[in-house]
Chains A and B, each alone.
Chain A
Amino acid sequence: MSRNIKAIIKKIVSIIFCGLVYLFLFLPIAVIVVNSFNATTTKPYQTWKGFTFDWYGKLFENETLLNSFGTTMAIALISTLLSTAIGTIAAVGMYKYKFKGKNIIDGLLYIPVVIPEIVLGISLLTLFSNTHIPRGMLTLVLAHTTFSIPYVIFNVRARLSGYDNSIEEASMDLGANRIVTFKNITLPVLAPGIGGGALLAFTLSIDDVIVSYFTNGQVKTFPLKVMESIKSGVAPDVNALSALILIGTILLVILTQSDLFKKKQ
């Protein structure tokens, strides 16, 4: 009997614990979503005054907010493209070829990852101002590409660790030249690693504040815009946009985790 009771208590405790963890994780998100439907119009927009879709309407009238979101997406897309291309080539090259100082280059990769972001931001700012590159879209893209590359390399390299070089030789043996082999064999086999790296680079770029703060010039990205507006409490239209981004992210996760995608691997 006591055994059964113990088991039941164990089960209840673990359910409560698990529930608390998830509550802790998802409550803030829920607050944002709920608040985006809040009808209040007085700062700091926190007391519940009823349900409304108004903020979603207002969001599409708030051009500076929408523009900042567009800027963020553009920077994220371009820097993801660049860092994925550079990172993949670097990872493949470092896997395939032996050269002097390879270990050092390997180790150096960790520095941009572990370095405090604020240091990276300051050093990039110094670099850009010393080389007289005007701060703006270009410097933002360069900065985001810089900090994303190591993550792409790590992801692709993880995939390469189980990679059998002889499948490329087999492809060439069967009549495919190097380019066709890369397209038919190397790329599809590495695709999960490349995709994972790209996704990571994309998310890193979208929500970056610190490095962007040092390198943006006059350009306002979405996170910078939010930071700016937070002084007067988070406006519900920002909440509305956050909720929309959330839905977009969830869709992306579902898409990448779905069986449809997995079968291709």
Chain B
Amino acid sequence: MSEERKVIVEIKGVNKIYGKNHVVKDLDLDIYEGEFLTLLGSSGCGKTTTLRMVAGFEEPTSGTIKVENEDIHNKEPYERDVNTVFQSYALFPHMTVYDNVAYGLKMKKVKKAEIKERVTEMLDMVQLGGFEKRYPLQLSGGQKQRVAIARALINKPKVLLLDEPLGALDLKLRKQMQLELKRLQKKLNITFIYVTHDQEEALTMSDRICIMNDGVLQQVGTPSQIYESPRTRFVATFIGETNLFDGIVRAKQNGKLHINVESGDFCVPDEDFKNNEMLAVSVRPERMLYSAEPVEGFNLTGTVKDQIYVGSVLKTVVELPNGNEVKIERLAGQELPKGGMVYLHWNDGDAKLIHTFDDVFAGAVEDVVMQ
């Protein structure tokens, strides 16, 4: 993500409140020209509302949204240079595929000959050449999706907004369309803002992912940044599987933090944490190690509860003294005896430290504000 890239959509201090529901909270987000940005979160997290505010179907309660440095507050949806692909496809049922795709150009009063040329080209691009005369009812789900994408893209929008466009497709078709969308986006070099609740989809397609929870932006970053360095507990648990330990900093020495968790204690390289500060430690299952012998710097033991062999990977569940379970993924190899005791550890850098006070504090402030 180079810094000199041009910001195309600027969301600043945006709030959206419906009655008592604070759906989007103080959202600040810059979206760069030509990037594939995904808004990721579970349902009700405010991602679709954010998209609809950019499209113009909802108005922010406060804050500004700029497209190419122009405040779009007073612009109706039909005056904005953005187009949307709807979750339900929203094809016009009484029009043919051709008329559906041509609709935007007709509204712009483009000449008939040019419309014909561009529609044909667009339908070829989404592999629907020859379907011009069909009605939406005569199309399969995947075909409808392609028409919806073609209908939006033909207007050459500055930004394309996609609201869970693949949600209704079966898994195989979804995978195929993910790659196809990514290909189209690269080819046309249009900024995509993509809403989904599917973290795998987000990791596969995005240049950057913006994770939202309960209306609050949790973290923005490339897929690997998000996966490798989650900034909040929510991000750590939402993206992929992880093992979380809640703990407290007991001491700092030699560039290492001595951390005390309920089931034991361990040392990790220092980050900017203070003595007695609360934190969470996230270790991915594939980074978690175990040993039959104690490892220096770690005092964390558990008993092997289960081992599941799933082809290339061996999944081990280790139970800690407090009853919590730790998931470990290893390439298949030596199995451990069930019920045996193991010492858990990991390499420096594989444990991610997360400030938990921030989460709690933000939540508390929010509660006060809302009352």
B4 at the interface (CB under 8 A from A): no
Give the segment of A36-44, A99-107, A145-153, A166-174 that binds chain B.
Answer: A166-174
A173 and B88 contact, CB distance less than 8 A = no
A180 at the interface (CB under 8 A from B): yes
Name the contact of B86 in the complex, choosing from A169, A189, A265 (C-beta under 8 A).
A169
Name the contact of A180 in the complex, choosing from B86, B107, B155 (C-beta under 8 A).
B107
Name the contact of B94 in the complex, choosing from A176, A177, A265 (C-beta under 8 A).
A265
A264 and B151 contact, CB distance less than 8 A = no
For the complex formed, measure the closest distance between the CB of A225 and the CB atoms of chain B, giving whole angstroms: 42
By a CB distance below 8 angstroms, the chain B residues around A177 are 76, 78
For the complex formed, measure the closest distance between the CB of A102 and the CB atoms of chain B, giving whole angstroms: 17
B13 at the interface (CB under 8 A from A): no
Interface string of B172-215 (1 = CB under 8 A from A): 00000000000000000000000000000000000000000000
B90 and A176 contact, CB distance less than 8 A = no
B255 at the interface (CB under 8 A from A): no
By a CB distance below 8 angstroms, the chain A residues around B108 are 175
Known: A177-B76, A177-B78, A265-B94. A171 touches B103 (CB 8 A): yes
B90 and A167 contact, CB distance less than 8 A = yes
A66 at the interface (CB under 8 A from B): no
Known: A175-B108, A180-B107, A264-B94. A170 touches B76 (CB 8 A): no
Known: A170-B84, A175-B155. A164 touches B90 (CB 8 A): yes
Known: A174-B155, A176-B107. A166 touches B93 (CB 8 A): no
For the complex formed, measure the closest distance between the CB of B306 and the CB atoms of chain A, giving whole angstroms: 46
B65 at the interface (CB under 8 A from A): no
A32 at the interface (CB under 8 A from B): no
* Max chain A Cβ within 10 angstroms of own Cβ: one of B104, B151, B155: B104
B83 at the interface (CB under 8 A from A): yes
Interface string of A171-187 (1 = CB under 8 A from B): 11111110010000100
For the complex formed, measure the closest distance between the CB of B145 and the CB atoms of chain A, giving whole angstroms: 14
A136 at the interface (CB under 8 A from B): no
B92 and A170 contact, CB distance less than 8 A = yes
Name the contact of A164 in the complex, choosing from B77, B88, B151, B152 (C-beta under 8 A).
B88
For the complex formed, measure the closest distance between the CB of A105 and the CB atoms of chain B, giving whole angstroms: 22
Q: Tell me the complex Cα distance, A172–B90, Å.
A: 12
Interface string of B211-226 (1 = CB under 8 A from A): 0000000000000000
Name the contact of B90 in the complex, choosing from A170, A175, A180 (C-beta under 8 A).
A170
A166's nearest neighbour on chain B, judged by CB, is B90
Known: A171-B103, A173-B55, A175-B104. A188 touches B90 (CB 8 A): no
By a CB distance below 8 angstroms, the chain B residues around A170 are 84, 86, 90-92, 151
For the complex formed, measure the closest distance between the CB of B113 and the CB atoms of chain A, giving whole angstroms: 19
Q: Tell me the complex Cα distance, A40–B55, Å.
A: 76
Q: Tell me the complex Cα distance, A179–B213, Å.
A: 38
Known: A174-B151, A175-B78, A175-B108. A169 touches B91 (CB 8 A): no
B78 and A166 contact, CB distance less than 8 A = no
For the complex formed, measure the closest distance between the CB of B253 and the CB atoms of chain A, giving whole angstroms: 60
A171 and B92 contact, CB distance less than 8 A = yes
B57 at the interface (CB under 8 A from A): yes
A172 and B94 contact, CB distance less than 8 A = no
A169 and B90 contact, CB distance less than 8 A = yes
For the complex formed, measure the closest distance between the CB of B157 and the CB atoms of chain A, giving whole angstroms: 9
By a CB distance below 8 angstroms, the chain A residues around B93 are 167, 189
A192's nearest neighbour on chain B, judged by CB, is B94
Interface string of B145-182 (1 = CB under 8 A from A): 00000011001000000000000000000000000000
By a CB distance below 8 angstroms, the chain B residues around A185 are 92
* Max chain A Cβ within 10 angstroms of own Cβ: one of B77, B82, B93, B152: B77
A188 and B83 contact, CB distance less than 8 A = no
For the complex formed, measure the closest distance between the CB of A176 and the CB atoms of chain B, giving whole angstroms: 5
Q: Tell me the complex Cα distance, A35–B102, Å.
A: 58
By a CB distance below 8 angstroms, the chain A residues around B94 are 188-189, 264-265
By a CB distance below 8 angstroms, the chain A residues around B104 are 174-175
For the complex formed, measure the closest distance between the CB of B234 and the CB atoms of chain A, giving whole angstroms: 30
By a CB distance below 8 angstroms, the chain A residues around B155 are 174-175
Q: 9 shortest A-B CB distances, which residue pairs?
A: A175-B107, A174-B104, A166-B90, A170-B90, A172-B77, A172-B78, A173-B84, A166-B86, A188-B94
| A-B contact sample (7 more), CB < 8 A, given A167-B91, A172-B77, A180-B107 | A166-B86, A166-B88, A169-B77, A170-B86, A170-B91, A174-B78, A265-B94
A-B residue pairs in contact (CB < 8 Å), sample of 23: A166-B86, A167-B90, A167-B91, A169-B84, A169-B86, A169-B90, A170-B90, A170-B91, A170-B92, A171-B103, A173-B55, A173-B78, A173-B83, A173-B152, A174-B103, A174-B107, A174-B152, A174-B155, A175-B108, A180-B107, A188-B94, A189-B92, A189-B93
Q: Which residues of B contact A (CB under 8 A)?
A: 55-57, 76-78, 82-84, 86-88, 90-94, 103-104, 107-108, 151-152, 155
Q: Which residues of A contact B (CB under 8 A)?
A: 164, 166-167, 169-177, 180, 185, 188-189, 264-265
